[in-house]
Amino acid sequence: MYETLNEINDEVKKCTKCNLCKNRTNTVFGVGNENADIMLIGEGPGADEDREGEPFVGKAGKLMNQAFQGLGISREKIYIANIVKCRPPNNRNPEKEEATACLNYLRNQVVLVKPKIIVLLGSVALKNILGDNYGITASRGKWIEKRGILYMPTFHPAALLRDDSKKIDFWNDLELVKAKSKEKNLLM
């Protein structure tokens, strides 16, 4: 058992559990409020994140930040992490073994941060956290409660860059997160 996020991060930095470690510049552990009520889970680092060591600092992240700003959710009050901590080559999806090797770090991040709401960004996050029988198109915008945590699956912000029409759904899903947070008096 880990007692602090730093302890987990120290292990992540030297992790060689899968082949993704071979090409990384930096591991990308997570960022934000360590006591956040809202946690966001993405897929894995892209080129910008690999370079900077922080999640969602590239184009998709900037779009996501704009949505948060528009909704009045502050990035500093939430916590953001990914399924895998090292960049998959050419931004491909992480393979099952890579995600499986890495997931224990994320589980421990969730245990320590203790979020009330987890927003699952895209299919990779959804399937790895809630199971392969969930699909993003059918699941997005609907609350799923498991072991005291409310999950909101939504599109990955990179999908919005490829298809403008998904932006409205993404926005509406985040509105649901905002409304629930208000109702429950959560930090955002």
Residues numbered 68 to 127 that lie near ligand URA (CB under 6 A) are 82
Tokens of 145: 């409660």
User: Is residue 188 part of the contact set for ligand URA (CB under 6 A)?
Assistant: no
- b/e burial code for range 151-180 (CB count within 10 A of at least 16 → b): bbbbbbbbbbeeeeebbebbeebbebbbeb
CA end-to-end span of the chain, whole Å? Answer: 28
Considering CB under 6 A, how many residues would be counted as binding ligand URA? 14
User: Is residue 159 part of the contact set for ligand URA (CB under 6 A)?
Assistant: no
Amino acid in the structure at residue 75: R
Member of 45, 88, 115, 153 binding ligand URA (CB under 6 A): 45
Member of 55, 88, 94, 115 binding ligand URA (CB under 6 A): 55
H-only helix segments in the chain: 5-13, 47-52, 59-71, 96-113, 123-130, 136-139, 157-162, 167-183
Nearer to ligand URA, 69 or 182 (CB): 69
Binding mask 59-78 for ligand URA (x = CB under 6 A): -xx-----------------
d(CA 33, CA 38): 9
Give the other-Cβ count within 10 Å of 107's Cβ. 12
User: Is residue 42 part of the contact set for ligand URA (CB under 6 A)?
Assistant: yes
Instruction: Give me the least distance between CB of 185 and ligand URA, in Å please.
Output: 29
Member of 37, 43, 50, 173 binding ligand URA (CB under 6 A): 43
User: Is residue 153 part of the contact set for ligand URA (CB under 6 A)?
Assistant: no
CA–chain centroid gap for 21, Å, is 19
Query: Which residues would be at the binding site for ligand URA (CB under 6 A)?
Result: 28, 42-46, 49, 55-56, 58, 60-61, 82, 158
